[in-house]
Amino acid sequence: MLWGSRGYQTHVRGALSIAVIFAGVLGWLLMKAPTHDCQVERPSSDTFYANSVVVQPWLGRHQVYGVFMLPLHYRSGRTYVGTISINGYTEEFVPDWHVISHAEDVIPDPGHYLVRRYLSTRVALRFLVKGELGDLRLPCNWMLELKERVPGLGS
């Protein structure tokens, strides 16, 4: 195939057109606004909303997380089980806290400390494909519920 041939130019134009369309769709998905406003309810004493959220899955692992402010009694040595809920996605886990002293714009209140709860990049990309990345960016959509684990009753 010759570089200047008409067939080659047609293939290049087609590939460029597809690349431009793909970039446009990806840009739209990245910038899409949330699908709903937050209606934050008063959480129970064991339920916490994120104070801030970082959503940058295109930067790799550990770039999608919520920062939560928890009372100090959760560091008492007791074992807790947690449930993280984000706009319809729910995951249960045994907390292995990533305790931090401060976040971008969050300083812990007296008697509290900050933790990060990471969301897998795969799940974040699922939100992106569904057009819900804007919802993922809202801290009020990140809810953490903790319960003390009772020994001998499974997890």
- Rama region for 62: left / alpha / beta (φ>0; ψ in -120 to 50; rest): left
Whether 32 has a pLDDT exceeding 80, the answer reads no
Give the model's pLDDT for residue 100: 75
Report d(CA 14, CA 62) in Å as an integer: 36
C-beta neighbour count of 118 within 10 angstroms: 16
Task: Specify if 59 maps to a domain.
Answer: yes
> For residue 4, what is the DSSP state?
T
B/e letters for 22-61, b = 16+ CB within 10 Å, e = fewer, are eeeeeeebeeeebeeeeeeeeeeeeebbbbbbbbebeeee
Domain coverage including residue 68: 47-148
55 versus 3: the higher-pLDDT residue is 55
Task: Specify if 108 maps to a domain.
Answer: yes
Task: Specify if 129 maps to a domain.
Answer: yes
Whether 24 has a pLDDT exceeding 60, the answer reads no
Whether 8 has a pLDDT exceeding 60, the answer reads yes
How many separate domains does the chain show? 1
Whether 69 has a pLDDT exceeding 80, the answer reads yes
pLDDT tens sequence across 35-64: 666 665 666 678 899 999 988 877 777 788
The residue-averaged pLDDT of 70-77 equals 78
Structure tokens at 57: 């899955």
pLDDT tens sequence across 78-101: 678 888 888 888 988 777 666 777
89 versus 20: the higher-pLDDT residue is 89
Task: Specify if 52 maps to a domain.
Answer: yes
Task: Specify if 25 maps to a domain.
Answer: no
Task: Specify if 125 maps to a domain.
Answer: yes
Least confident of 32-46, 59-73, 107-121, 134-148: 32-46
> For residue 88, what is the DSSP state?
T
